[in-house]
Amino acid sequence: MTNTKLNIMSKLIIITLFITLAMLTSCSNKIIGTWIIQRYDIAKPEQKSVSFYNIGIMRFEEDGTGSNNTIYDIAGVKIIDRLPFKWKSTKNNITIISKGSEFSRTWILLENKRRSQKWESTNDSNQVQTLILTKRGMTSFTINTVN
């Protein structure tokens, strides 16, 4: 083979590897890892919405399992959720399956970035819940404690 043919083949191999790597990373699930719940909003029709900040973390494993570690207070009642869950996602939704967890439902992915997520869900009583998540490592974080 001539040097020109070798150079062309080398360039084609490099381009093919680059395209393959780009496709693999773009298809990877962005949700894998630990996420800080920066804000949790609850809005009811014709009522003032309630917002909770830095209520805990959610961890998503590659095998479709995960866990919560959240603590927040609603009208003097401490809500603690340290339950394991199963999860599945599509391009536009993420479903969390867990008995007894406040977050167990299908969420619409309003924002689905590598380092930030915004989810929304509406329950049977038209209560709209919004979660704003940041990938751990992006911000400092202190979890609320139960007194």
Question: What is the span of the domain harbouring residue 21?
Answer: 1-29
The CATH number of whichever domain residue 42 belongs to comes to: 2.40.128.280
Name the band, by pLDDT with cuts 50, 70 and 90, for residue 146: very low
* Helix (H) and strand (E) counts in the chain: 1, 9
- Which of these, 141, 133, 137, 112, lies nearest to 58 by C-alpha position? 133
Kindly state whether residues 114 and 60 are assigned to the same domain.
yes
The number of domains in the chain is 2
3-state secondary structure 111-132: EECCCEEEEEEECCCCCEEEEE
| pLDDT at residue 5 is higher than 80 | no
Q: Is residue 70 part of a domain?
A: yes
pLDDT tens digits, 33-81? 999 999 999 999 888 899 999 999 999 999 999 999 999 998 899 999 9
Kindly state whether residues 69 and 37 are assigned to the same domain.
yes
| 141, 36 Cβ separation under 8 angstroms | yes
Kindly state whether residues 97 and 53 are assigned to the same domain.
yes
Which is more confident, 104 or 1? 104
Kindly state whether residues 40 and 20 are assigned to the same domain.
no
Kindly state whether residues 10 and 41 are assigned to the same domain.
no
Kindly state whether residues 23 and 77 are assigned to the same domain.
no
Kindly state whether residues 17 and 73 are assigned to the same domain.
no
Give the mean model confidence (pLDDT) for residues 95-101: 95
Name the band, by pLDDT with cuts 50, 70 and 90, for residue 13: low
Q: Which of 65-69, 83-87, 143-147 has the weakest average pLDDT?
A: 143-147
Q: Is residue 147 part of a domain?
A: no
